[in-house]
Structure 1
Amino acid sequence: MYGLSERKTPEAFIAACDKFVFFEVLRKIGDPAASVSVADVPDLKGVLTHAINETSRDGGWAPLSAVGSFIGKNNASFDPRNYGFAKLGELVRRQDYLECKATPDASGVAHHLHVKIR
């Protein structure tokens, strides 16, 4: 079930959803009216490090796709736009406690992003 509402939505409703989006993140990134108070969103470092620890492979590297899936399943309201980024890849690249690397896929054309805690 998908949910869409304002920040004043009860936690029980948010938790009951598979994915929940706050109206506020639907505004353009950089729009001052779209700014979100840090107190309104889950602790980013905690969410990311937990997801990376749970999905990492040898050497501590985790595919960003697995990290994103884990976060989505465990935090229905998580959205990179809550933190001022349009995409999860942009968000993780800007975190100084994370290391990122792109690895080519089998075709050598596309790249997959992997993340690791420093």
Structure 2
Amino acid sequence: MENNLAVLIDGDNIPSAYVKEMMEEIAKYGNPTIKRIYGDWTKPQLSKWKNVLLENAINPIQQYGYTQGKNATDSAMIIDAMDILYSNKVQGFCLVSSDSDFTKLATRLRESGLNVIGIGEKKTPEPFIVACDRFIYIEILGSHPKQQESENNVDKDKKKQSVDKVTPKVINLISSTISDVADEDGWAFLGDVGGLLQKKQPNFDSRNYGFQKLTPMISSISNFEVESRENQNGRFKLIYVRNRA
């Protein structure tokens, strides 16, 4: 049975250009039965959202800023999240924001046994990232709409700049993870490696480094060996990896 997800979006901290790609990504992890976005819709900076809300069946929640300098949107999201939690209608949450104010909320939801996926920009503070089971940077979710042909090269340059380098620290993380789940010969099933990497570092994603999947990423690093094996039925290929001696 597919997990039902509550998708709560902080309209003040997420660009509207990525909505389509974001909803496609969320669908990989469950069925988004509740989709709400919070913000003060009287503000002109949120006007770009209005065109995409109907297309993606996202329910806008009006939240006025009652006090100068205070973010009422955060409070509204947190209150709704707790109401949804106690309704027992979902098995997981997707919190879409780059704001560290949702760190405590993510922690509380996980304490209740629910899976929490975070989505935000690369500027998202580390405490919120590690409070989630998985954190996805919105910049890697495909290409956002381009308004003019002349902007294409600029967008491509931005895309290149957003790709992280595979540093020795990243290689060491992968290497130690392979060792953690390897058999006596040093081989580890890639699925187990990927799962443990996610637990160790919620924002680990091969797309951050320019690779759509983990297999080509590890294959590109000379420190590792990759082996393809047939399963017992011979219908599927199983990928195994190990550290080079």
Which amino acid in the other structure matches residue 242 of structure 2? K
**SS of residue paired to 1:59:** coil
**2:219 equivalent in structure 1:** 93
What is the TM-score with the length of structure 2 in the denominator? 0.44
**SS of residue paired to 1:58:** coil
Structure 2 unaligned blocks of 5 or more: 1-115, 144-155
Which amino acid in the other structure matches residue 49 of structure 1? S
Q: Are 2:140 and 1:25 aligned?
A: yes
**2:240 equivalent in structure 1:** 114
Q: How many pairs align?
A: 115
Which amino acid in the other structure matches residue 99 of structure 1? E
**SS of residue paired to 1:101:** strand
Of 34, 44, 61 in structure 1, the residue corresponding to residue 159 of structure 2 is: 34
Name the CA shift for 1:109/1:37 in 2 (closer, same or farther; >3 Å). closer
Deviation at 1:77, TM superposition (A): 0.2
Of 163, 172, 179 in structure 2, the residue corresponding to residue 46 of structure 1 is: 172
Which of these two proteins has the greater Rg computed from alpha carbons?
2
Distance 1:48 1:26 in 2: 23
**SS of residue paired to 2:238:** strand
Name the CA shift for 1:111/1:37 in 2 (closer, same or farther; >3 Å). closer
What is the TM-score with the length of structure 1 in the denominator? 0.89
Deviation at 1:81, TM superposition (A): 0.5
Indicate conservation of the 8 Å contact 1:27/1:34, yes or no: no
Of 64, 75, 84 in structure 1, the residue corresponding to residue 190 of structure 2 is: 64
Which amino acid in the other structure matches residue 9 of structure 1? T
Distance 1:98 1:85 in 2: 16
Percent of counterpart pairs with the same letter? 31
**1:80 equivalent in structure 2:** 206
Indicate conservation of the 8 Å contact 1:3/1:14, yes or no: yes
Superposition RMSD in Å: 1.8
> Which structure exhibits the higher relative contact order, with contacts defined as CA atoms closer than 8 Å and separated by 6 or more residues?
1
Distance 1:81 1:42 in 2: 17
Deviation at 1:43, TM superposition (A): 2.9
